[in-house]
Structure 1
Amino acid sequence: MIPPNNFGRIRFGCGHFVSSFLILISSLCSTVSNAQDIEPRRWTNLPIGIAAIGIGYGYTFGDVYFDPLLQAEDAVVTAHTIITSYVKPFRIGKKLARIDVALPFSSATWEGLLRGEPASVKRTGLLDPKLRFSYHLIGPPAMAPKELQEYLAEHTTYTTLGVSLAINLPLGQYDEDKLINLGLNQFIFRPQLGVSHNWGPWSVEWDASVYFYTKNNNFFNDGTKRLKPLVATQAHLIKRFKSGAWASISTGYGIGGTSRVNRLSNDDKRSNILGSASLGFAMGKRQSAKMVYFHSQTLMDIGSNTNSLLLVWSMVIQ
């Protein structure tokens, strides 16, 4: 990795190697801020008239693999992240809709060898916040808590089909004089289509989405950076228990996101396979907790392999 005191002042040679270096550093070191997510119970039918707030802690660690030409070896990343969230379901006509807001704050460190010498970089600050709007096209109608409970007791088998649009806002920590940042300094628009089928205590979910990136006009060294769309899909198997607890296993896959810096493209397509296991349980009538293990594995020679552990507490409010 590049020593912190030299990071914003380095000047390179010229040609395609410069473009490759900028692309690889910026994409591989955005592990914390630009990771694909896996979210079971994403299309669960929530009652209207309530809202939920939550706070979570996540610990991420793993390896980062650079192009050998960059002479960066044995690179690792570790991050501690706090995430606050707000969820509000509501009615549009007879259909269920919801708004999700997530505000993450992180402290991340990248360490490794640069030309055989130890080096590291640390960043602390906001990650890019995320807003998401969802709408159920098919499934149970929007109902108050008691009505929804009665409906689900009578309809133990049903299917939900929904669409959503998530937007990552470029408000995270970003310094155009540095290559490694927590924020991306670009909007991400992510349309998503999802389906959930429930029978008794079991459910399966599947969804597909596309990440569209706006241009970063304030990239390192007065440059510009573009990312081509990334296509992602995920699937979940969920079991609910009479105690109110639930467990899930999940998998996902993403491909795309080729980068271009200053009109020079690089063959740096991303391809990742994801896996996750989650356990949720009730804590009284209004509170709940969730524990998650998440793994991301690159399928390319260049990329990153990371593990994340997440603990989330949430509470229902009127």
Structure 2
Amino acid sequence: MHSMTQRVSMALLMACTTALAHGQELEPRSFNNLPIDQTFVFVGAARSDGDLSPPGSSPLQDAELTIDGLAVGVSRTFDLAGSSAKADAVATRLCYEGEGLFRGEYVEGRRCEYADPRFKLTWNFLGAPAMSMQQFAGWQQDLVAGVSVSVNAPWGDYTSRQLINAGSNRWSIKPVLGMSKRYGTRWQWEAKLGATFYEDNDDYYNGAQLQQDPLYSTSFHVIYNLPRGWLSLDANYFTGGRTTVDGQKQDTRQDNSRWGVTWSRPLMPRHLLKVYASTGVITRIGNEFNSFGVAWLYRF
């Protein structure tokens, strides 16, 4: 029962996790099967430090930032067309401080704000039948394929008078296609392809219009299941996302890659802990930063 509870809850923990930008996510076990009719709550804290793009849209150049985030989320699993599915909602509070150049002038500051909330729907349409907790206890995964759609709503703190905002003042949507396969009792891999599409921001800094090309991403995870918990090596690549401000194309196309490690284990039958870290390995713009985080999940 302990092993089954671990398998159930840890995939949900990944689904709750939010990142600073969609293309930079490193979320292992996003497409694992789960028993239906389960509810989870999630609390996570993370720090990112280095040369990175702020969570919202910013005209800063050469920004050196430290961003501390606290995220709270809830997830629910359910039956969708005979296969397992889950819905997630996450709210995040960010505190950031840093410095950079704005039109050649040095600027610095510190502020705490609410980021845009995130909503996500995941459906494992192949190899993940909808099962109760009791049925799931004896099930063994082979190949699972699924899709997810996440939406960031423009409800976070934002003003066009500020150089940095936690909110983005625009909708974004990210569809993802993923596959996961398990080998024996220990090894598993997962691969994902996704793209983030952005609405225009018609109230960018000082009332300008911001447009952004889609950001395309892929990620791969190699997971080793420990006697209690699991360990994952994670890598991704994302490209695109070039911005245009008032019709003028900016030199902001991303061509970046990150790698990281994730470790998790159950604490008690209904409690789980996750610790993760990542860093940039290939950088064209805004990716030379390190991230560290810890998360706790409780299953009702």
TM-score interval, normalised by the smaller of the two chains: 0.7 to 0.9
Match 1:143 to one of 131, 137, 141 = 131
Structure 2 CA distance for partners of 1:71 and 1:170, relative to 1, 3 Å = closer
Whether the aligned pair in 2 keeps the contact of 1:33 and 1:183 (CA below 8 Å) is no
* Equivalence map 1:48-67=2 (5 Å): 48-64=36-52
1:123 equivalent in alignment to 2:111: yes
Distance in 1 between residues matched to 2:235 and 2:84, nearest whole Å: 26
Q: Which runs of 5+ in 2 are unaligned?
A: 1-18, 54-58
Match of 2:298 in 1: 315
Matched letter for residue 127 of structure 1 = A
Whether the aligned pair in 1 keeps the contact of 2:23 and 2:215 (CA below 8 Å) is no
Match of 1:246 in 2: 230
Whether the aligned pair in 2 keeps the contact of 1:32 and 1:79 (CA below 8 Å) is no
So what's the TM-score if we normalise by structure 2? 0.86
Q: Secondary structure at the match of 1:104?
A: strand
Q: Secondary structure at the match of 1:85?
A: strand
Structure 2 CA distance for partners of 1:35 and 1:112, relative to 1, 3 Å = same
- Matched residues, percent identical? 26
Greater mean alpha carbon deviation, residues 116-125 or residues 82-91:
116-125
Match 1:44 to one of 9, 12, 32 = 32
Match 1:266 to one of 241, 250, 265 = 250
Structure 2 CA distance for partners of 1:110 and 1:275, relative to 1, 3 Å = same
Distance in 1 between residues matched to 2:38 and 2:61, nearest whole Å: 50
Structure 2 CA distance for partners of 1:297 and 1:179, relative to 1, 3 Å = farther
Match 1:303 to one of 264, 286, 291 = 286
Distance in 2 between residues matched to 1:224 and 1:117, nearest whole Å: 22
Whether the aligned pair in 2 keeps the contact of 1:289 and 1:313 (CA below 8 Å) is yes
Match 1:161 to one of 145, 148, 152 = 145
Match of 1:222 in 2: 207
Q: Secondary structure at the match of 2:138?
A: helix
Q: Which runs of 5+ in 1 are unaligned?
A: 1-30
Structure 2 CA distance for partners of 1:312 and 1:64, relative to 1, 3 Å = closer
Q: In terms of Rg, which structure is larger?
A: 1
Please list the CA deviations of residues 171-217 of structure 1 after superposition, one character each: whole Å capped at 9, or x if unmatched: 11111112211111111110110000012221100000000000101
1:78 equivalent in alignment to 2:92: no
So what's the TM-score if we normalise by structure 1? 0.81
Structure 2 CA distance for partners of 1:304 and 1:36, relative to 1, 3 Å = closer
Distance in 2 between residues matched to 1:291 and 1:235, nearest whole Å: 18
Whether the aligned pair in 2 keeps the contact of 1:197 and 1:204 (CA below 8 Å) is yes
Q: Secondary structure at the match of 2:24?
A: coil
Please list the CA deviations of residues 216-235 of structure 1 after superposition, one character each: whole Å capped at 9, or x if unmatched: 01111121110010100000
1:114, CA displacement in angstroms? 7.1
Match of 1:257 in 2: 241
Distance in 2 between residues matched to 1:296 and 1:182, nearest whole Å: 22
1:103 equivalent in alignment to 2:91: yes
Whether the aligned pair in 2 keeps the contact of 1:62 and 1:307 (CA below 8 Å) is yes
Whether the aligned pair in 2 keeps the contact of 1:43 and 1:194 (CA below 8 Å) is yes
Matched letter for residue 247 of structure 1 = L
Matched letter for residue 271 of structure 1 = D
